[in-house]
Amino acid sequence: MQSKAENTPHHQPIQELLANGAALLRDAGVENPRREARLLLQHALGLTPEAMLALSVRDCVAAEPFLAWVARRAQHEPFAYITGSKGFWSLDLSVSSASLVPRGDTETLIAALLEHCPDHNADLSFLDLGTGTGCILLAALAEYPKAWGVGVDVNPAAATLAYGNARRCNMSARALIMAGQWVEALSAQSRFDVVFSNPPYIPTTDLDGLMEEVRRHEPVRALDGGQDGLDAYRHLCACLPRLLKHNGVGIFEFGIGQEPALRDIAAQNGLEVVQVMPDLAGIARCIVLRQGQPYARN
């Protein structure tokens, strides 16, 4: 980047670019358009936040990459897909349209893991079904340096993305990434201390009501949970007993209002609810299950 370039069609003052970009985003209905424009410019220039702050608003910078990204964001393409990265827990991960964008709600699963297994030196084994970017598995491995894990995704492009993130985070020696039909991709003898999943849980009839950037750009297969949104949980809970080691647990994300039905599905499969943990908004978001007596709901 040449911050002292002259004002030309290819190089324009930061102040002008930000004003034009924010206006385009505002007209498209993007929330916080000024903030998003500034972040897009920072990423387009390849700058850290500190380096961005050091620039003068009168400095002329390359305009075309930024304006191309603004045009994509104005179409409500997720910010993370445009920049190609997203922070999750303690990690910075590569992101693509092959998988869902990692969300803060999903960090609740890692919080539940830390509460259930406070010993960070434990030699644990993890399984992440529907691994996507690998965010859950890799965040868990980051907290337990002696642990290892397997991530499985039905989409080969997502599995490739997760493998790339394992390498990016220097965890490829401890993370085996597989493309295949979840449980069917594993050997019959596979057992784990913790089985994670953030499965599809949106009822099919609710898909059209999702935010535009989710509905239009994120993979439907990773969202559509069937007629009642619970298809994946029926499969997960039926398989969980044979996937867990003794005293092992399943840690699953679920949607708003799904807790009672998920408790029933767990009970029908001989699973005990250890804990239900809320996300940062106070909404029940994560369930911890283990083998036990059927759960009796009052």
Question: Residues annotated as binding site for S-adenosyl-L-methionine?
Answer: 130-134, 153, 182, 198
Nearest to 221 by CA among 128, 157, 138, 136: 157
Annotated binding site: which residue ranges? Answer: 130-134, 153, 182, 198-201
Q: How far apart are CA 240 and CA 237, in angstroms?
A: 5
Query: Chain-centre distance of CA 58, in angstroms?
Result: 37
Distances (CA, A) of 75 to 28, 35, 100, 209, 217: 7, 17, 17, 17, 10
Q: CA triplet 213, 280, 141: central angle to 5 degrees?
A: 85
How far does CA 288 lie from the centroid of its chain?
Answer: 19
Angle ∠(147,153,158) on CA atoms, nearest 5: 100
Structure tokens at 19: 């004003």
CA separation for the pair 243, 127 (Å, rounded): 9
Binding positions for substrate are 198-201
